[in-house]
Amino acid sequence: MKRNKQVDNFFIGFFFLIFLVPALVYILFFLNILIEGVPVISWQYLTSSPSSDLADGGIGPVIVATLGTVVMMLVFVVPFGVMTALYLSEYSLNKKFDKFFIFLLYNLSGVPSVVFGIFGLGFFVLNMGSSLDNFFNTTLVFGKPSMLWASVTLALMLLPMVIISSYQSFRSVPYNLKETAYSLGANKLSVVWNVIIPQSRSGIFTGIILAVSRAIGETAPLLFLGCAFFLPSLPLFDLCVGGICLPLIDPTEQFMYLSYNIFILSTQSTGEVATLPYQYAGTLVLIFLTLFCNGTTIYLRQRYRNKVEMKGIL
């Protein structure tokens, strides 16, 4: 008995040591970024425009453009991802095809992001964009790299992640809940809308969290799709409705992206030592931006989960 306890204590200490080593590495990594980046961060840095020599300036337009690209990506990926997963889970009659399709999605989720960037340039920009320019009789409005095609390409890249997460969540809904709804006279659409989707919101939001986390940190596909080396300001246009004009980001123009901005500072700047604090500051902002987006999505997921649990109690 005493020997068994000693063995247990040994393995507890051994596994704790295995946990402690990577944990300390991550803590030291974050502390290094924090110590080097915090002195640079100020309100002016977070709101002002970058400088052309990359030696100083702020990242205000870069942050806004990054968030705008991610939001536009979500506009494409969430409805298509959730509806595709819903069809595969609840409406498709060919289960062999469903399994094969999910298998393909797992393989697509492992394709390098640079491949999606090249595909986006060839298909969306050169083919679809040029066709839209010919259809609307415009000159290089859609047929050029821009935020629109960058968002669509990111959505295409992250679509397998959202579909798989949503599909697994839909399939995990207890069958007795569906049977109860059908026995009360509910039709298929009513069961999907009032039972399956509310019970699956947690899994749907999990897929969205993973998609947002990866999209914010992506760089490779954006190199082909309009991510600019330097822009002094955001590309804006005024949307006027009823005499009220609202400035919006022009999705048909080039843009700056935070992860690409950090890459440029670390590789293309003439004074790497001078820009090193700005590299750390940009990295710190990127980390907190990711935490903010993920935290918002987690809050919404928990809020909907609590609503579903309260309805179940009542």
Superfamily, domain 55-313: MetI-like (1.10.3720.10)
Q: What is the pTM of this model?
A: 0.88
Asked whether the beta carbons of 227 and 256 are under 8 A apart, the reply is yes
Q: Where are the domains of the chain?
A: 55-313
SS3 (DSSP) at 200: helix
DSSP string, 142-193: SSS--HHHHHHHHHHHHHHHHHHHHHHHHHTS-HHHHHHHHHTT--HHHHII
The mean pLDDT values, 10 residues at a time, for the chain of 314 residues are 74 88 92 90 87 76 92 94 92 86 90 92 92 88 92 94 92 86 84 87 87 90 88 80 81 91 82 81 90 82 65 46
